[in-house]
Structure 1
């Protein structure tokens, strides 16, 4: 009894890991897309690389940023960041302030609590207006309804035009809330502090951005007299394709496992039917043999057709055109120096990144990539092996097929509820689509059917009429 209970927990752990890792990965990707604003992840980001330019002199002036925007076909937003003291009455706090310009609202999803956004006219007129976070409003005014109130920043008085709030998701927690404490027009920030320069630019992606986006940005920077090597360029279109396919990799692994189980079941049905016909034709003509075993042959035919339909559905669900960056494809497959150079380049980038201050968007991308990668690895390296070990152990314990099906169905439903609860706790919606349901449901059902009870193989013995002993 204890061994059966332990085995059931092993199977349940495998089911839970597969369901949770697949669904949570898709939920994180959906949250990432939602937080990226109207343009979504169809953009490129340019930031001053402080590792290559420790003084920050590579930052752009507003005139240079506008010139770059004029050379780019699509929306452009730019910003500067400054840690400053914000005061209201007798209270003062340190705040992360960002000066925004261009189409900044199209590249970030700002959840307004009260008021409105900073308008283009406010940016053009150097207005003293501010958009503050709910957290900053509570620290300064002990409340959130502060639209119309004033505060002091950089020796000047600003009027609050809007209050935005954080969604409290796991991505916000892992990126230090992801968004700054306060937004003001970048023209106003530069007017009050002449040393401030544009340090981050976001550009709308085009049709060929995944392939040529980085080189297009480098050409645009060169066109305004800037050296591209002093900037870090992030192609979010390519990164979205790269990170977004990782949950598909987990689904593909589960689908391949289901297809293998399908093939084993089909082979077993074919082998059983061939054995019946071989025994039947030893004494009778094949029409008589078919009539003698017509029920068994009809059952096997139905099973094979059903399995073929199942395999087709699984294949359609896992079919996906995986994206591999061109720089990761060697000219010669067996070329160890190519893979060595990739590893050395990656290590060099990690060292150089020690002096780089990532933007909120880059921080969110890094956290999403880390979480999705780990969830995918856990699902493949732990979820699938635990499911296989548990079902094999069930076979050794001679657990009947109908009981295996009932238990796996129950585990599947419970795992869906647990994963949904975990997503809700993380502050995001649980994403589960028909593809995951088809592939994982097929895998669990086939895992219950494909392993016959150990020590009880399918046998055929002499007797009268329907003399077949079988285990389905």
Structure 2
């Protein structure tokens, strides 16, 4: 299987293309699942409202405990909700000190976030007024040099709090990219409001009951905000049900590209098969009648028609697998495509939003989502504009070298399987959920197989002769 020396560059380009295609396939499927894992019990069935800290009314723009009680008892009484505020200070134990991020939260916060407790328990409703804390492993190691610290006390703002739980660190790629380099402490929101006079409740998270794209989730939250006298324009609202749909849609686009490559090859094979039968019939009809040709060459004609029907069936099956309804946020769709004022207003709104968000400190969940979304965008871009061009360029170079079809097929199959195994192993290493989508794998394999046949094989008959 070792190619000739002159063929090494072509096989290297081909291998790089296959590597990008394999990696983008396994990574793309993993990212939406990881986003769901980071969302705790509710996964992506949640919507968040984060206060834009530089709003025109800074104090009135944040939430109060009274607001949270009103929402829980009235407007959002049928919904699970969490809220949080953030502060920075130093934590101490005896002579040891360490900078920490302090999160004042309610007892439902762990239902919306991935908090893997190593020991103890998370904050409960009964502890709303108690001096208790949950710390993470980093802080436990910094202050106590071990993680068996449940029942001990740490000092925050000159007050001692009892440790009731220790949270494990996220060792995944996302956890590493969002690591602040210092520990985290979770305490009851009411306690943090007493300890830090300038702290404000800035994050509200609500479970969603509509997984579609109707906007119902956003309407429910905006109505709730208005009921407590808050302007929704002063908050950054993210519906994670829609966010994960858009992320998964990029996987569907990637599959669409792979299947399109396969369908182009299949249409070409179909055209060639039809032309073969056409020329065969013309040749026979020079000296035979239709009835004589059908009677004498019935088997060959039946086999040819069976091949055509099989190709049509495969094309229809591929189309059924890849078709989907493209979702575009309604606010980005004009009533008329040629509507200068709409696009001008859209650009103006974008500029105003960026100006309003200047200095905006996104919460951890939003930062994680932004990182995952950025990785997914780059993953799709590299798949379309690097993976496929490299693969097709490698095939073109191999065709010029007149390499044997069977040799190229074996190389692609073996290297693709190795690349998929390597990609899966890499996901395990970076602590990302390895997700195997059989349909996606088959689409990529079929596209690669057909592209190799088309680029390096001369005719369908010769292709099957090799196999």
Residue 466 (structure 1) aligns with: none
Kept in 2, the 8 Å contact 1:10–1:390? The answer is: yes
Instruction: Give the C-alpha shift of residue 87 in structure 1.
Output: 0.5
Query: 81, 102, 116: which is aligned to 1:111?
Result: 116
Aligned partners of 1:76, 1:348: CA distance in 2, in Å?
29
Query: 367, 373, 376: which is aligned to 1:369?
Result: 373
Residue 465 (structure 1) aligns with: none
Aligned partners of 2:353, 2:105: CA distance in 1, in Å?
29
Aligned partners of 2:444, 2:137: CA distance in 1, in Å?
42
Instruction: Give the C-alpha shift of residue 19 in structure 1.
Output: 1.9
Instruction: Give the C-alpha shift of residue 198 in structure 1.
Output: 1.2
Residue 98 (structure 1) aligns with: 103
| Distance change (3 Å), C-alpha of 1:139 and 1:215 | same
Instruction: Give the C-alpha shift of residue 337 in structure 1.
Output: 4.5
Query: 26, 29, 32: which is aligned to 2:32?
Result: 29
Name the Cα RMSD after superposition.
2.4
TM norm structure 2 = 0.91
TM norm structure 1 = 0.90
Aligned partners of 1:10, 1:337: CA distance in 2, in Å?
47
1:49 correspondence with 2:52 = yes
Aligned partners of 1:285, 1:400: CA distance in 2, in Å?
41
Aligned partners of 2:254, 2:352: CA distance in 1, in Å?
30
Query: 192, 199, 204: which is aligned to 1:201?
Result: 204
Instruction: Give the C-alpha shift of residue 63 in structure 1.
Output: 1.3
Kept in 2, the 8 Å contact 1:178–1:363? The answer is: no
Residue 88 (structure 1) aligns with: 93
| Distance change (3 Å), C-alpha of 1:80 and 1:136 | same
Aligned partners of 2:299, 2:340: CA distance in 1, in Å?
58
Instruction: Give the C-alpha shift of residue 417 in structure 1.
Output: 1.3
In structure 1, stretches of 5+ residues that fail to align are 459-468
Residue 217 (structure 2) aligns with: 213
Query: 367, 391, 399: which is aligned to 1:395?
Result: 399
| Distance change (3 Å), C-alpha of 1:284 and 1:470 | farther
Aligned partners of 1:251, 1:286: CA distance in 2, in Å?
44
Residue 362 (structure 2) aligns with: 358
Aligned partners of 1:2, 1:288: CA distance in 2, in Å?
55
Kept in 1, the 8 Å contact 2:210–2:217? The answer is: no
Aligned partners of 2:335, 2:380: CA distance in 1, in Å?
28
Q: Which moved more, 1:140-149 or 1:165-174?
A: 165-174
Residue 281 (structure 2) aligns with: 277
1:404 correspondence with 2:408 = yes
CA deviations on 1:141-188 (whole Å, 9 max, x unpaired) are: 011111111111122111111111123111112222699611011122
Instruction: Give the C-alpha shift of residue 93 in structure 1.
Output: 1.1
1:307 correspondence with 2:287 = no
Aligned partners of 1:380, 1:420: CA distance in 2, in Å?
21
Instruction: Give the C-alpha shift of residue 3 in structure 1.
Output: 4.4
Kept in 1, the 8 Å contact 2:225–2:231? The answer is: yes
Aligned partners of 1:41, 1:457: CA distance in 2, in Å?
50
1:136 correspondence with 2:156 = no
Aligned partners of 1:304, 1:177: CA distance in 2, in Å?
60
In structure 2, stretches of 5+ residues that fail to align are none
Residue 125 (structure 2) aligns with: 120
CA deviations on 1:261-304 (whole Å, 9 max, x unpaired) are: 11111111111121122112222334554576667545544433
Aligned partners of 2:327, 2:275: CA distance in 1, in Å?
40
Instruction: Give the C-alpha shift of residue 256 in structure 1.
Output: 1.4
Residue 328 (structure 2) aligns with: 324
1:171 correspondence with 2:162 = no
Aligned partners of 2:311, 2:404: CA distance in 1, in Å?
20
